C-alpha cells in the first residue's frame, strides 16, 4: 500500500475546478490537512486571478490556472463537470497522480449506462474497471490501493447508507421507496432558472420523477449487497435551503423493529462518520460536518429509515477527503473532525 509516510514531505495535491461549490469546500478542507500541500488550483473562469479572489479567508498563495500541469502532483481532485474530467483522467494517472473524481464519470461500472443517464458515450470506458466507488463504509479495503476513486453523489450516498445494512442482512421485505430532499447547493454554482431565488424561495417540488441520475448508483451498490436484489423507487425534491440532504426510505419489515435497529447499530458500530441515532435526524444537525446520521423506525409493519447529511461535505468533498486519507494512509478522520454546529 502506498502511504504518505514514504513521501517524507507533504503530498502535493491539485484541485481541478476549484471555484464550484464542491471545489471550494474541498479546498477549505485540504487547506487544514497536515499532510497536504495545495500546489495547483484550476479554474477557467478565474484563470490568472489570485486564489484570494475565491478564497479570501484562506492563507494560500497562488494564481488560478486554466489547466492542470501534470508533473509533480501526487493526487488530483477532479471537480470538473460530468464528462470533462473523464477525458483528462488518463493523463493524470499516466503522470503518476492518483485521481479522486467528484463527478459522475466513474461511478457506474457499466459503460452502457452512461448514454442512458448522461446522454453521452463514456469518453474513457477502459478506466471504468480501475475505478473504486468511494463510499468508505462499504469499500474501505479497496480504497487503500485505489489509483482512481469515484466519489458517489450526494443523494446516492445518503440513500445507500440508509439502506445498506438492511440490504446486506436480507431483511428488506418489499420494494423500497426513497423520498429524498436536497438543498439548492446540490445543483452546483452555475446559475440557472430552476435554482433562481424567485423560483425556489417558499416553494418545494419533486423533479426527475421518471428517474434521477443517482438512482443507478444506488441500485448498483445495493445489488452487490443483497442476494435477492433490491428494487428502488427514488423521487428527489428541491427544498429552499442552502445545504443538506434528507432521505426517508420505506420498505416492509422482515422480523421485528428491534432486530432491524440492532442490524444497523452493528453494521455502523466501527464507522467514524455514520451514526445511528435514537431520533429522526435533521439536516441542520449534520450541516458542515462529514456525518451521515441514520434513524431506524417503523409505522406498523413498514420500516421507515431516515438519513441526513451535508451534501457538500459527506455528500461530496468531505467524502473525497475521507477516501484520500484511506488511499494515502492517513487517519480516516484527518482534516474532517469539526465541532457540531447547532443550531
With beta carbons less than 8 A apart as the criterion, state whether 268 and 291 touch.
Answer: no
With beta carbons less than 8 A apart as the criterion, state whether 245 and 184 touch.
Answer: no
Active site residue 154: yes
**Nearest CA-CA partner of 98 in 325, 273, 290, 318:** 325
**Nearest CA-CA partner of 163 in 237, 88, 248, 81:** 248
**Nearest CA-CA partner of 138 in 161, 154, 155, 158:** 161
101-to-17, 65, 90, 188, 331 alpha-carbon distances in Å: 11, 19, 12, 16, 20
Nearby residues of 115 by Cβ (< 8 Å), 6 or more positions away: 121
Look up cell 458542515; give the residue: 288
With beta carbons less than 8 A apart as the criterion, state whether 315 and 21 touch.
Answer: no
Catalytic residue among 154, 249, 292, 323: 154
**Nearest CA-CA partner of 303 in 231, 252, 248:** 252
DSSP string, 244-261: -EEEEEEEEBSS-HHHHH
Residues with a known catalytic role: 154
Amino acid at each position: 500500500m502506498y502511504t504518505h509516510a514514504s513521501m517524507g514531505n507533504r503530498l502535493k495535491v491539485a484541485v481541478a475546478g476549484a471555484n464550484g461549490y464542491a471545489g471550494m469546500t474541498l479546498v477549505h478542507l485540504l487547506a487544514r490537512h497536515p499532510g497536504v500541500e495545495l500546489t495547483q488550483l484550476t479554474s477557467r473562469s478565474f484563470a490568472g486571478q489570485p486564489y484570494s479572489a475565491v478564497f479570501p479567508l484562506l492563507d494560500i498563495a497562488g494564481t488560478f490556472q486554466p489547466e492542470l500541469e501534470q508533473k509533480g502532483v501526487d493526487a488530483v481532485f477532479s471537480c470538473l463537470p460530468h464528462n470533462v474530467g473523464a477525458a483528462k483522467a488518463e493523463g493524470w494517472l499516466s503522470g503518476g497522480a492518483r485521481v479522486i473524481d467528484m463527478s459522475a464519470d466513474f461511478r457506474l461500472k457499466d459503460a452502457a449506462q452512461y448514454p442512458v443517464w448522461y446522454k453521452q458515450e463514456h469518453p474513457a470506458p477502459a478506466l471504468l474497471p480501475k475505478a473504486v466507488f468511494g463510499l468508505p463504509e462499504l469499500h474501505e479495503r479497496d480504497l487503500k490501493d485505489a489509483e482512481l476513486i469515484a466519489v458517489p453523489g450526494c443523494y446516492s450516498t445518503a440513500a445507500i447508507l440508509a439502506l445498506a445494512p438492511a440490504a446486506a442482512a436480507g431483511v428488506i421485505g418489499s420494494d423500497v421507496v426513497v423520498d429524498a430532499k436536497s438543498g439548492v447547493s446540490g445543483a452546483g454554482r452555475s446559475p440557472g432558472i430552476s435554482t433562481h431565488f424567485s423560483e425556489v424561495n417558499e416553494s418545494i417540488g419533486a423533479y426527475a420523477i421518471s428517474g434521477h441520475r443517482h438512482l443507478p448508483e444506488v441500485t448498483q451498490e445495493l445489488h452487490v449487497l443483497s442476494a435477492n436484489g433490491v428494487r428502488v423507487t427514488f423521487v428527489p425534491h428541491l427544498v429552499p435551503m442552502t445545504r443538506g440532504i434528507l432521505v426517508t426510505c420505506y420498505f416492509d419489515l422482515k422480523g421485528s423493529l428491534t432486530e432491524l435497529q440492532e442490524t444497523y447499530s452493528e453494521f455502523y458500530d466501527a464507522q467514524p462518520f455514520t451514526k445511528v441515532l435514537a431520533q429522526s435526524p435533521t439536516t441542520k444537525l449534520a450541516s458542515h460536518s462529514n456525518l451521515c446520521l441514520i434513524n431506524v423506525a417503523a409505522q406498523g409493519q413498514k420500516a421507515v429509515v431516515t438519513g441526513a447529511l451535508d451534501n457538500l461535505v459527506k455528500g461530496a468533498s468531505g467524502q473525497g477527503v475521507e477516501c484520500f486519507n484511506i488511499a494515502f494512509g492517513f487517519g480516516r478522520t484527518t482534516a474532517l473532525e469539526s465541532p457540531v454546529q447547532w443550531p
